[in-house]
Amino acid sequence: MAYEHVLIEKKDRIAYVTLNRPKVLNALNDQLVAELGEIFNDVAGDSAVGALIVTGAGEKAFAAGADISEIHEKDAVRGLEMAENGQRVFRVLETMGKPSIAAVNGFALGGGCELSMACTIRIASENAKFGQPEVNLGVTPGFAGTQRLSRLVGRGVAMELTLTGRMIDAAEAVRIGLVTQVVAQDELMAAAEKTAKTLLGKGPLALAAVMELVNQGYDLDFDDACKLEAARFGVLCGTEDMKEGTDAFLNKRKPEFKGR
**pLDDT band at 259; cut points 50, 70, 90:** confident
Contact between residue 259 and residue 205 where contact means Cβ atoms under 8 Å apart: yes
Could you report the per-residue pLDDT of 63-102, keeping only the tens digit for each? 998 888 888 888 999 989 999 999 999 999 999 999 999 9
Domain ranges of the chain: 6-200, 204-250
Helix-helix angle 204-217:222-236, to 10 degrees:
170
Considering the domain 6-200, what is its CATH architecture? Alpha-Beta Complex (3.90)
Please tell me the predicted confidence (pLDDT) of residue 171.
97
Catalytic, out of 35, 114, 193, 229? 114
Catalytic, out of 35, 94, 134, 193? 134
Q: What is the mean pLDDT of residues 155-182?
A: 97
What is the dihedral sign for C-alpha 113, 34, 28, 186?
positive
114 is catalytic: yes
134 is catalytic: yes
Contact between residue 63 and residue 29 where contact means Cβ atoms under 8 Å apart: no
Q: What is the mean pLDDT of residues 240-253?
A: 92
Is pLDDT of 103 > 90? Answer: yes
d(CA 84, CA 79): 9
Match domain 204-250 to its CATH number in 3.30.160, 1.10.3470, 1.10.12, 3.40.50: 1.10.12
Alpha helix ranges (H) inside the chain: 30-44, 68-72, 76-95, 111-118, 145-153, 155-164, 170-176, 188-200, 204-217, 222-236, 240-250
Fold match between 6-200 and 204-250? no
Q: What percent of the chain has pLDDT over 70?
A: 100
Q: What is the mean pLDDT of residues 195-207?
A: 95
Is pLDDT of 1 > 80? Answer: no
Q: What is the mean pLDDT of the chain?
A: 95
